[in-house]
Copies of this chain bind each other. A is one copy, B any other.
Amino acid sequence: MLGSETKVQHILRGLDQSLKRNLNFNFLLFGHEKKIKKHILKFKRLNASSDIISCEDFVKMTDKPSEVIKSKVQTSMLQAIESVSNNISNAVLSFGNTGALMSLSLLKIKTQDDIKRPAIASIWPNLKGESIVLDLGANTKLDERYLVENAILGSSLASILFKINKPSIGLLNVGKEDTKGLETIKIAADELKRLTENSVLNYKGYVEGNDISIGKTNVVVTDGFTGNIALKTAEGTARLFQSHLKDAYKSSLISQIGYFLSSISMKSVKERLDPRVHNCGILMGLNSLVVKCHGQSEYKGVSYASDIIYSLLSNNVNERIKQYVRELKDKVNN
């Protein structure tokens, strides 16, 4: 909570709101004791369900992951991750440096037996509801093995979150035809087709950037470089839209009255598409649950992320993902 760009009071307010819905939550808050104590008094419910672990040091947003993992400093991020790897807590929610969080989690929590590289997955709103998109930046190397692994991880998450037996999977590409795109993607597509013929997965073919928002498949698979660019471009577009809307409403008195009248329904749209709300990344493929929230998250984003963690933990999701991956890998090998 220390190196984060999210304000302590927003984090506490978000956690408190989530606690209202998810009564059995207990929090370990790693950060500046004084600062947390000052703000937490406003949130009685949260105060009663939390322990503060005082930390003086933290990972900065600009710190290099390679140096963070070498350092012996007991940062708030390291202590939070160790509380999971030592089975003191069940999940980590971080607002800090993504690269450092990835590297420290890899080092301390480690990947599941059958997974080579973790991926960051996110729940992406679309015209039909929601889909899982991954990888959003954990692993920027484009490699057919990682794409297939991401398909397995995404499929397991979607099957549990959306309660679908075999979620449909699309591979992100620059066209729908088999001949389109990069060689690596074509090789991954062939492997995914094979796994679908063997009834392991439910691969539907290539999808394009606009298909993410259309909701063509339950899972959209890509590499961490492309996924990160797509995610941030979508966030930027949503903000541009909001900003232009705001200007438009200010442009005349009638528009302002119009805005006032439609503001309730407008608010719901904003929340459904606001990148400050839909901004949490689930680190997939690790032995425990690690969730990353956007640095600039406001309290609604915090509370949304906290809700997701609660839902995943109460569904025992990580064990189920591990089992799902094992079963898939067994089928692949037979």
A140 contacts across to B, CB distance below 8 A:
174, 181-182
Q: A-side binding surface: helix, strand, loop or mixed?
A: helix
**Contact of A209 with B230 in the complex, beta carbons under 8 Å:** yes
Q: A226 CA to B273 CA in the complex, in Å? A: 23
Copies of this protein, total: 2
Task: Give the shortest distance, in Å, between A71 (CB) and chain B (any CB).
Answer: 16
Contact in complex: B64, A240 (CB < 8 Å): no
* B181 lies within 8 A of A210 (CB): no
- Known contacts A179-B64, A231-B209, A232-B208: does B241 contact A241 (CB below 8 Å)? yes
Q: Which residue of B lies closest to A234 (CB)?
A: B237
Q: Does A259 contact B (CB under 8 A)?
A: yes
A182–B143 alpha-carbon span in the complex (Å) = 13
Q: Is the CB of B233 within 8 A of A230?
A: yes
- Whether B225 pairs with A209 at a CB distance below 8 angstroms is no
Please report the C-alpha to C-alpha distance between residue A326 and residue B117 in the assembled complex, in whole angstroms. Answer: 45
Contact present for A244 and B225 (CB under 8 Å): no
A241 touching B269 in the complex, CB below 8 Å, given contacts A174-B137, A233-B210: yes
Q: Please, how many angstroms separate the alpha-carbon atoms of A126 and B244 in the complex?
A: 10
Within 8 Å of chain B (Cβ to Cβ): is A264? yes
Q: Apart from A226-B226, A248-B269, list 10 A-B contacts with CB within 8 A.
A: A99-B175, A127-B239, A174-B228, A174-B229, A211-B232, A226-B229, A229-B229, A233-B237, A244-B272, A261-B261
Some 24 contacts from A to B, beta carbons below 8 A apart, are A125-B240, A140-B174, A140-B182, A181-B225, A208-B232, A210-B232, A211-B236, A213-B233, A214-B239, A226-B226, A230-B230, A233-B233, A234-B237, A237-B238, A237-B273, A238-B241, A241-B269, A244-B272, A245-B269, A251-B265, A252-B264, A257-B262, A259-B262, A261-B261
